[in-house]
């Protein structure tokens, strides 16, 4: 089963659109009316939808680490620093992860881009 993605509100729309064109199942926080959600609530929402959260937000890394240490389930976080990873590289790497991976591969984990 492919990995479904949930895009943080800070992710450029071009990434979401390109992934959809490539057949990746993606929901953006804006479409889900989740703009302005706290990091905790955003990770909870992604988990409710059984989706891995993709973000450029450093603060989400702290929340993911807190959950790992406390044993609180989340579906996974994929992080890319916006100044160190191009939009094209994000699209390519996210497509690989979504198409080749299984949801349990990223459960309770943080993956960093580029691969």
Q: Residue 65's domain is classified under what CATH number? A: 3.40.50
DSSP letter, residue 72:
-
Total domains present in the chain: 1
Q: Which residues are CB-neighbours of 108 under 8 A, at least 6 positions away?
A: 67, 68, 73, 74, 76
Parent domain of 67: 5-113
Cα(66)–Cα(84) distance, integer angstroms: 25
Note down pLDDT in tens along the chain; length 115 residues. 899 999 999 999 999 999 999 999 999 999 999 999 999 999 999 999 999 999 999 999 999 999 999 999 999 999 999 999 999 999 999 999 999 999 999 999 999 999 9
């Amino acid at each position: 089963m492919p990995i479904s993605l949930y895009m943080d509100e800070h992710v450029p729309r071009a990434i979401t659109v390109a992934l959809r064109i490539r057949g990746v199942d993606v929901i953006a926080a804006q479409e889900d009316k989740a703009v302005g959600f706290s990091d905790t609530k955003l990770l909870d929402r992604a988990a409710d939808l059984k989706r891995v959260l993709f973000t450029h937000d450093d603060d989400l890394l702290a929340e993911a680490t807190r959950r790992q240490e406390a044993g609180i389930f989340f579906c996974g976080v994929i992080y890319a620093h916006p100044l160190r990873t191009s939009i094209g590289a994000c699209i390519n790497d996210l497509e690989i992860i979504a198409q080749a991976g299984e949801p349990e591969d990223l459960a309770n984990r943080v993956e960093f881009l580029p691969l």
